[in-house]
Amino acid sequence: MVERKVYVTKIVHNRKNEAKQFFMNHPIGKDIVMSVFSYENMVMIYMEDHDGSLSAEALFGEPRFLEDVGMENGKYARMEDIFHYNRPKDEEHWIRSTTETQPKATFAKIQFGKLSSYMHYHYLLQENTDKEREKYGAIYVLENYLFFYRELPVEIEKPWYQSKAKGDIPVNWHEVMNEHFVFWPDLNTPWRGMDKWR
């Protein structure tokens, strides 16, 4: 079974170039699905684990240019999956249909006290399984940080799993969602792109 994982870490002040070169060039297995994204001193690592042994620490160790993230997590903290358009059914189902896939990531911050509402609406959307949608899109959270992972070109399919919840999804979805975010002052939008290092 494929388990999707996202880890976040932070770079020590003034060592971003060193970190970038490390994450771009550190050797990993050729068959591992993994991407690395950054914004300022934050690094987010997406990976797919096929046997329960894969983690950010297993792939990259604990280089000195990374900060301890606290909470006894060492250099990396794992983010929680709070929304996905679909999920792996088995190994064969999760194989990409093209070798030209380009992973993309955006990053957002949730207002204090708004996370539970955001998760509620997205759970309803996730369980609305009667429509085709992005296969690989998913949102992960740690504290008030959101990470939205996608792959382009978008592959569309109907979720294979049965819905576990029913509820009304707001018609004015974007307006309702915008009430949850801390907008980036330099962009005046809730989501901003991240640099792809790998």
The CA-CA-CA angle for residues 85, 89, 90, to 5°, reads 140
Residue type, 84: H
pLDDT at 72 over 80: no
The structure tokens listed for 53 are 């042994």
130-134: average pLDDT: 91
The radius of gyration of the chain's CA atoms, rounded to the nearest angstrom, is 17
pTM of the model: 0.95
Strand, coil or helix: 6: strand
Mean pLDDT of the chain: 95
How far apart are alpha carbons 75 and 58 in whole angstroms?
12
pLDDT at 163 over 80: yes
Q: Which helix (H) or strand (E) holds 59?
A: helix 56-60
Q: What is the pLDDT of residue 73?
A: 72
pLDDT at 71 over 70: no
Strand, coil or helix: 36: strand
Spatial neighbors of 112 by CB under 8 A, at least 6 apart, are: 144
The CA-CA-CA angle for residues 27, 145, 38, to 5°, reads 35
Q: What is the pLDDT of residue 105?
A: 98
How far apart are alpha carbons 162 and 80 in whole angstroms?
21
pLDDT in tens, 88-127: 999 999 999 888 899 999 999 999 999 999 999 999 999 9
* Cβ atoms within 10 Å of 27's Cβ, excluding its own: 6
Q: Provide φ and ψ at 34, rounded to 5°.
A: -155, 140
- 65 with 19: CB under 8 angstroms? yes
Residue type, 52: G
Region of 29 please: left (phi>0), alpha (psi -120 to 50) or beta. beta
